[in-house]
Chains A and B, each alone.
Chain A
């Protein structure tokens, strides 16, 4: 490629003409019951530390995925709504630009990645993130023997001073890609990659897949008229789309 073309590429907003894959997730709030299975699945898959009561009380817990709760109305006409909140893998991520050491960037798959090795812990990304899905290692956490034996060898354990967050289980994506390569396939098949949270969801509220593939389940879900993005006005272009909870009108049935 000529230098002129390279330069033109470099000057293009968003840089990527096209992602190799564009991993996306939909979360159907009409199915979500807030059961928190996904939270533990994430903790198990990604070696999230057990921080202990003291650290938890200081709000130093590390959760890549959390359930938010919102009450609507007053007793007795009251509703509780859940909102699973994880890294939205924004295509225009507010968290990526401010990192002085480029420890977080957007990769070819449309993922917002965090490179622990590189992070020096300015925590700017977390401040800039409107979804507050980034967790910081305020301490080096350890596992009481023999709990460390459950650690996932595909995922690193992070040391103190490092920011971390949801990766859409990039290690699973990697495994699926390697498998596709072994099988002489050019692309990963729909459904071959499921992040831990999606895998565990008892109500099948979460759907994950490649939104570039028009036939994938997630692409179909993305067309759902109930779809919305949290804090859409911020124009962060999240890869996670929520499907609005269906509210019955009035109390009568139908």
Chain B
């Protein structure tokens, strides 16, 4: 039986303070929402200086480089059409293809990475208050049987939240 408590803040500092306090109080299931990216908040959310997206980018880039060259050689050898006195497998032009494919697959894989890592698209019903995308910062605490919803509510209130709401279950 879990419940979600939302604290809506006007000021960035209050928001971060409250989030930190909640975290130290043992609330792990925090969702911090803000209208702009905030490094401090990301730190609170436990997100480091790098992102797993980069692995996707690297993989895509490498695959693109290989794949591009392979594609070029493959299509050159399906039918042998020698041109301009060049060899069938021609390095300089095929490297250009490899280069472009590096970027193409790099970008596509990064996009994939973004989706995988961020969990988006997520069109299911989730705790969200529209104001957080305008000028409010919000903390959503998921409280279950073991934790104390009141304590969380208090921390939010004391932290300067404009509003504390119980969002119920998701």
Contact = CB atoms under 8 A, between A and B. Distances in A.
Interface of A: 7, 9-16, 90-97, 99, 102, 104-106, 237
Nearest to B73: A10
A15 B84 contact: no
Contacts of B81: 102, 105
Chain A at the B interface: SS class: loop
Nearest to A105: B81
B43 to A, nearest CB: 51
B94 to A, nearest CB: 11
Nearest to A14: B85
B77 interface: yes
A10 B85 contact: no
Given A7-B89, A11-B88, A97-B86, 15 more contacts: A10-B76, A10-B88, A11-B89, A12-B87, A13-B86, A14-B85, A15-B86, A15-B88, A90-B85, A96-B84, A97-B83, A97-B84, A99-B83, A102-B81, A105-B83
B84 A10 contact: no
Contacts of A96: 83-84
Contacts of A102: 79, 81, 83
Interface of B: 73, 76-77, 79-89, 93
8 tightest A-B contacts by CB?
A92-B85, A96-B83, A97-B84, A105-B81, A10-B88, A15-B82, A96-B84, A10-B89
30 contacts: A9-B88, A10-B76, A10-B87, A10-B89, A11-B87, A11-B88, A11-B89, A12-B87, A13-B86, A14-B82, A15-B87, A15-B88, A90-B85, A92-B84, A93-B83, A93-B84, A93-B85, A94-B84, A95-B84, A97-B83, A97-B93, A102-B79, A102-B83, A104-B83, A105-B82, A106-B82, A106-B83, A106-B84, A106-B85, A237-B85
B85 A13 contact: yes
A96 B89 CA distance: 15
Contacts of B80: 15
B83 A14 contact: no
Contacts of B76: 10
Nearest to B89: A10
Contacts of B88: 9-12, 15
Contacts of B87: 10-15
Contacts of A15: 80, 82, 86-88
A91 B85 CA distance: 6
A3 to B, nearest CB: 11
A104 B81 CA distance: 8
Contacts of A237: 85
- Name the residue in A16, A90, A97 with the highest tally of chain B Cβ atoms < 10 Å from its Cβ: A97
B83 to A, nearest CB: 4
B44 to A, nearest CB: 53
Contacts of B93: 97
Contacts of B86: 13-15, 97
A96 B80 CA distance: 13
A12 B76 CA distance: 14
B67 to A, nearest CB: 19
- Name the residue in B77, B79, B84, B86 with the highest tally of chain A Cβ atoms < 10 Å from its Cβ: B84
A12 B89 CA distance: 8
